[in-house]
A and B are shown apart, each in its own frame.
Chain A
Amino acid sequence: MNYNWDWGVFFKSTGIGSEVYLDWFISGLGWTLALALSAWIIALILGTIMGVARTLPSRFVSGFASAYVELFRNIPLLVQLFIWYFLVPDFLPESIEIWFKQDIKPSTSAFISVVVCLGLFTSARVCEQVRTGIQALPKGQINAGYALGLNIAQTYRHVLLPQAFRIIIPPLTSEFLNVFKNSSVASLIGLMELLAQTKQTAEFTANLFEAFTLATIIYFTLNMSLMMIMRWVEKKTSVPGLMSLGGK
Chain B
Amino acid sequence: MDLSNIGPALPGLIDGMILTLELLFFAVIGGVALGTLLALARMSSNPVLSRLAGFYVNYFRSIPLLLVITWFYFMVPFIIGWITGRPTPIGAFTSCLIAFMMFEAAYYCEIVRAGIQSISKGQANAAYALGMNYSQAMRLIILPQAFRKMMPLLLMQSIILFQDTSLVYAVGMMDFLNTARSKGDIVGQPHEFLLLAGAVYFLISFSASMLVKRLQKKLAV
Contacts and interface: CB of A to CB of B under 8 A. Distances in A.
Contacts of B166: 76-79
B197 A199 contact: no
Interface in A67-90: 70-71, 73-80, 82-83, 86-87, 90
B194 A74 contact: no
Interface string B128-155: 0000000000000000000000000000
Contact of A219 (B63, B163, B205, B206): B63
Contact of A79 (B58, B82, B177): B177
A198 to B, nearest CB: 8
B74 A212 contact: yes
Contacts of A188: 66, 169-170
A232 interface: no
Nearest to B209: A74
Give the interface residue-count category, chain B: 20 to 34
B78 A76 contact: no
Given A75-B163, A86-B194, A220-B63, A212 B70 contact: yes
B90 interface: no
Contact of B67 (A78, A82, A212): A212
Nearest to B70: A199
Nearest to A202: B74
A184 B197 contact: no
B198 A79 contact: yes
Give the interface residue-count category, chain A: 35 or more
A79 B59 contact: no
A83 B195 contact: yes
B19 to A, nearest CB: 15
Given A79-B166, A187-B66, A208 B74 contact: yes
Interface string A93-116: 000000000000000000000000
Contact of B201 (A3, A79, A215, A216): A79
A157 interface: no
Contact of A75 (B65, B66, B70, B198): B198
Interface string A48-64: 00000000000000000
28 contacts: A1-B82, A70-B206, A74-B201, A74-B202, A74-B205, A75-B201, A75-B202, A75-B205, A76-B177, A76-B201, A78-B166, A78-B177, A79-B198, A79-B201, A83-B194, A83-B198, A86-B190, A86-B191, A87-B190, A87-B191, A180-B64, A181-B62, A185-B167, A187-B66, A195-B64, A208-B74, A212-B67, A220-B63
Interface of B: 58-59, 61-67, 70-71, 74-75, 78, 82, 163-164, 166-167, 169-170, 177, 181, 190-191, 194-195, 197-198, 201-202, 205-206, 209
Interface of A: 1, 3, 70-71, 73-80, 82-83, 86-87, 90, 177, 180-182, 184-185, 187-188, 195, 198-199, 202, 208-209, 212, 215-216, 219-220, 223-224
